[in-house]
Every structure is written in C-alpha cells, then in structure tokens.
Structure 1
Amino acid sequence: MTWITNRWYVAGWDSEVDRTPVARTICGEPLMFYRKLDRSVVAMRDACPHRLLPLSMGYKEGDSVRCRYHGLLVGPDGCATEMPIKSERVPRGVCATLYPVVEKHRFVWVWIGDPARADPELVPDFWPCSTPGWTFDGGYNRVGCDYRLMIDNLMDLSHETWVHQGSIGQHEITEAPIETEVRGEEVLVRRWMPGIEPPPFWRDALRSAGPVDRWQVCHFLPPSSVLIDVGVSPVAAGDTIERHDSGVRGFVVDAMTPETETSTHYFWGMARNFDVDDPGFTARFKAQQGRVFDEDVEILEAQQRSIDANPDLKLRGYSIDEGSVRARGIIRKLAAAELADAG
C-alpha cells in the first residue's frame, strides 16, 4: 500500500457535498457523502449491506437512503431501519460502515483508518484558507496518476520553466539556488529570486512594472498536501525569504487524495491577500489557475503511462528532487509504522 490510512484526506469541496449523495473512491474504498437536514456531513461505505449495490444510486428519504435495488432503508448511522419486506424485523448488524468526517478550510475531510484515532486536530493546517484578510477558492481534477507523482511535481517547481512557459514559468526559477529543510514530518523547499522581471501573472497582480523579488516556498504536509507560498514584491521594499509581505502574496493549495494506486483526486486553489474583495478577479484567476494545472495533468498522466510501460526502469533523483525525495521518505516511514502497529 502506498498511502497512510490514519490521517485526514480531502473528500470534496464544501460546495460539492449537498443532500444528493456524492460517490467517491478514496484510498481504494468506495464511499458516499451527503448532508443531513442539519447540514452535517455523512461519510458512508458506498455499498448496500444487502446485495452491495452502491447506496449512492439510491433514493434520499429525509436523512436516510433507500437502496434502489430492493428498497432496504439505511439511516445516517449506517444501520438498516427498514427491510425490503416491511413486516420483517431488521436484524442487528445490518449496517454500512461509517467514516469520521470534519469540515475545515472549505473542505470536507474523511478519515479512512482506525476511527478511534480520528483527531480533528490532525487536519493539515491550511491557515491561509481560513484567516481574515485572505480569500480562497479553487477547483478539482481527477488525475490518472499515482498521488506521489503529484507531490513530486509540486515539491520541484523547476518544471514551471518548461511546462508553464506562457504563464508562471521563467528561466530564473531553474537558475535560483534552492534550500531544503525537514521539520519532523514536514518538508520545506525554498527558492528566492532577487531582482528579476516578474512573469505576466505576477506583474499584473502587482499592478506595476520594474524588477521584483520573487519567492517560492513549497511545504509538504502529510499525508499528501503541499502548500506553496508564492509572490513578488518590489525590490525597493527590501523583503527577504523569511519576511515577504510588502507586495502580493498567495498560497497555492494542493490536496492530493489517492483514489487508487494510479489515480488521484486533486483539489487545488489559491489563497491570497490581495484584491480580496474582487470576486471577478477571483473567478478569472481560478480559470487561469485551472488552465495552468491542466498543463500539469497532461504531463503527469503521460508520466504514469510511461511508468506503466517501462516496469524495468526506476525514477531517478537529482538535486532538484530533494524535496520530493524527502516527502516520499516520510510517507514510507509513516506507512511502515502503521503496518507495524497493525501487525
């Protein structure tokens, strides 16, 4: 198994989950999500405990779901409350598995592992998504690749020079030195680009011309998220890699939830501290960001196909890959610890 189970994974945007059940396979397990009348979220195994038809195909009745095959009624606690023959007593134990779920930072999070360990305090700290003075929005892609390839991509932004030449890429990215640091279970990769011409997006966001200092700080948080602190400030502001709030700053938010060994739910967005009261800009930027990520999806899916076609070859790691190598090492360590605890 390539993923950690006893952690929180993003299951969907808060706006995706409503009264109608949403089906989504997470870490190889088929789940469905829906909101009860009180708007709290139910996360349930998407299989009727009678004949295993997906419950997400069923009919909502209040806070319950009636199976579309034989009519078994399943309550929000996962247990059957009415049999196909209504006069028949409901046996104990006719239940679908429930999963712990929380809402935070605009996302619905689910816990796939031992429910007794589902501590809400372990939800990754996406603080820019919930902090006054910042605004946050984004989108979703299903990507046909191993989720770890996406972490590799986001922890090594040198690819921007070549994959995103028309938007955020520039040669200074590959020329700037990088610094990699491991902090417990987290990894940071820093890149500082002083006195350069900004790429088109950041020039427009800053609303001024002239050289800038640009930064990128990639932050891996287990089990599978990457926050990227990005932005530019005028050279005259004197910002540094440690303190950089004089210009325009954002956090690229990336949550990669494994679907299968070779497919991923990719939840992405941008939290920013500029033009926060301009919903039109938010919508335009979301569309632009989506186009940038579409370029990544093309590369990553082609990479996965090539990996599958070349089972005798292995990925190589160079100096630019240190952040992703470290992140993968943390994932392996945590997954091995889970296996040891279970065994």
Structure 2
Amino acid sequence: MTWITNRWYVAAWDSEVDRTPIARTICGEPVMLYRKLDRSVVAMRDACPHRLLPLSMGFKEGDSIRCRYHGLLIGPDGAATEMPIKSEKVPKAVCATLYPVVEKHRFVWVWIGEAAKADPATIPDFWPCSAPGWTFDGGYNHIACDYRLVIDNLMDLSHETYVHQGSIGQQEINETPIETIVDGVAVRVQRWMPGIEPPPFWRDALRTDCLVDRWQICHFVEPSNVLIDVGVAPVGSGATPDHHDQGVRGMVIDAMTPETDGTTHYFWGMARNFDIEDAGFTARFKAQQGQVFDEDVAVLEAQQKSMTANPDMKLRGYSIDQGSVRARAIITRLASAELVDG
C-alpha cells in the first residue's frame, strides 16, 4: 500500500458534485458522489450490492438511486428499499457502503478508511481558502503518475527554473539555498530571495516593475497535500520570511488524491490576499496557473513512463530533494504504522 487509508482525501471540488451522480476512484475504491435535495453530499461505494454494476450509471429517484441493471433501489443511507421483484421483502443485509463525507474549504472530502475513525476536526487546514480577506479558486487534473511524484515536484521548486521558464521560473531559485524543517509529520522547505527582478507572473500581479524580495515556503501536510506560501514584496517594504503581507501574497493549494498506484487526482488552486474583489483577475489568474500546472503534468507523466521503462533504476535524492525525501519518509512511516495497527 502506497497511501495512508485512515485519512481525509479530496474527492471533488464543491462545484463538481450535483444531483447527477459522478464516479471517482479514491485510493483504489470506486466511489459515487451526488447531492440530495437538501444539497448535502452522499458518498457511496460505486457498486450495486446485487450484481455490482456501478450505481453511478443508475437513475436518480428523489434522494435514492435505482440500479440500471435490475432496478434495485438504494436510499441515500445505503440501504435497499425496493427489490427487483417488488413483492419481495428487502433483506436488511442488502446495502451499499457509505463513506464519511464533509464539505470544507470549497472541497468535498471523503474518508476511505474505517468510518468510526473519521473525525472532521482532522481535515487538513487549508485556512487561506476560507479566511476573511482572501479569495480562492482553482482546477483539476487527472495525472497518469504516482501521487508521490507530484508531492516530490511541489516540495522541490528548483524545477521552476527549467519547466516554467516563461512564467514563474528564474535562475535565482537555483542560486538560493533552501532551509528544510521537519516538525513531527509536517515538513517545511523555504527559500528567501532578496533584491531580485520578479518573474513575469509576479511582476504582473504586483502591477509595477521594481526589485523585490521573493519567497517560496512549501508545507507538506499529510497525507498528501502541499501548501506553498509564495509572493513578492518591493525591496524596502519590510517583508521578512516570517511576515510578508506587504506585497502580493498567495497560497498555492495542492491536494493529491491517489486514484491507483499509477494515477492521481490533482486538485490545485491559488488563494490570495490581493485584488480579491476582481473576478476577472481571478479567472485570468486561474487560467495562468492552469497553464503552469499543465507543464508539470507533461513532465510528471513522462517521468512515470520512464520509471516503468527503467525498472532497474531508482530515484536519487540530492540536496534539493530534502523536502520530498522527508515527506515520503513520513508517508511510509504512517502507512506502515497503519498496517501494524490494523
């Protein structure tokens, strides 16, 4: 097992889930999501308990769903309420598995593990997505790679110099030393780049052309999330690595949900504390960020194919990989402990 089971994972954006069921595989399990009439979300195993046809192919009837194959009717509590032969009594054992589900920070979170252990208080703290004075939006990519490769990518931003040359990359990233801090199951990697020219992406956000102090602070949040505190402030504005709201600041939100051993649901976005009322800017910002992540997707999928084609070779870790190596070690430790406890 390459992932931790008893954790909350992002299953969808809030806007993706409506009355019509959608199917999504989470940590190897097929899940169906839909909204009831009261707009609350149902997360149910996507397999009819009769002949295992995906329930997401079924027909909605109120808050229930009728299997498209033989007509078994399943209520939002997972219990069957009507058999294919309507005169037959419904056995209590006929039911579909439900998953704990919570909406928070614009995302629909699903708990794949033991339901009794699901505590909403343990949902990762994506605070900028809900904080006053911030605005948040983003998108989704399905990536044909191991979810840990995406974490590697986000915890080592030295790749920006080469992968994102026309947007956020610049040589100063590779010239600036990183500091890596491990605190329990959290990992932080930070760069502080004083007195540099801003890259195009941040120059446009700042709306002026001047020397800036730039920061990148990557936070690994288990089981599979990375929050990246980024931005620039004009030189002399008083910004420091610990306090930097003087210029333009954003928090890149990345939730990597394993689909299978070799595929990942990648939910991404940017929360920001500037121009928060400008809806047009939000849309343009999202489009630009999507283009940046598309560049990552191309690299990550090629990397996964190369790893498959070269099974005799192993990933190597250099000094720039400190954050990703530490994050992987935490995932492995927690997943192993879960197997022992189980």
| 1:89-100 equivalent positions in 2, closer than 5 A | 89-100=89-100
Per-residue CA deviations over 1:180-217 (Å, capped at 9, x if unaligned) read 00111110000000000000111111111110000000
Residue 137 of structure 2 aligns to which amino acid in structure 1?
A: D
1:69 aligns with 69
Q: Equivalents in 1 of 2:15, 2:210: separation in Å?
A: 40
TM-score, normalised relative to structure 2 = 1.00
Report the Cα offset of residue 296 of structure 1: 0.2
Q: Secondary structure at the match of 1:15?
A: helix
Q: Equivalents in 2 of 1:66, 1:183: separation in Å?
A: 49
Q: Equivalents in 1 of 2:294, 2:235: separation in Å?
A: 32
1:224 aligns with 224
Question: Does 1:211 pair with 2:208?
Answer: no
| 1:143-182 equivalent positions in 2, closer than 5 A | 143-182=143-182
Per-residue CA deviations over 1:300-324 (Å, capped at 9, x if unaligned) read 0000000011111100000000000
Q: Secondary structure at the match of 1:283?
A: helix
2:336 aligns with 336
Residue 206 of structure 1 aligns to which amino acid in structure 2?
A: L
1:244 aligns with 244
Residue 106 of structure 1 aligns to which amino acid in structure 2?
A: R
Q: Equivalents in 1 of 2:229, 2:147: separation in Å?
A: 21
Percent identity of the aligned residues?
80
Report the Cα offset of residue 238 of structure 1: 2.3
Question: Does 1:52 pair with 2:52?
Answer: yes
| 1:20-169 equivalent positions in 2, closer than 5 A | 20-169=20-169
Instruction: Figure out how many residues of one structure are paired with residues of the other and give that number.
Output: 342
Q: Equivalents in 2 of 1:143, 1:81: separation in Å?
A: 38
TM-score, normalised relative to structure 1 = 0.99
Residue 101 of structure 1 aligns to which amino acid in structure 2?
A: V
Q: Secondary structure at the match of 2:56?
A: helix
Runs (4+) off by over 2 Å: none
Q: Equivalents in 2 of 1:93, 1:41: separation in Å?
A: 23
Q: Equivalents in 2 of 1:222, 1:21: separation in Å?
A: 29
Unaligned runs of 5+ in 1: none
Per-residue CA deviations over 1:262-320 (Å, capped at 9, x if unaligned) read 00000000000001000000001111110100000000000000001111110000000
Q: Equivalents in 2 of 1:302, 1:79: separation in Å?
A: 44
Q: Secondary structure at the match of 2:15?
A: coil
2:265 aligns with 265
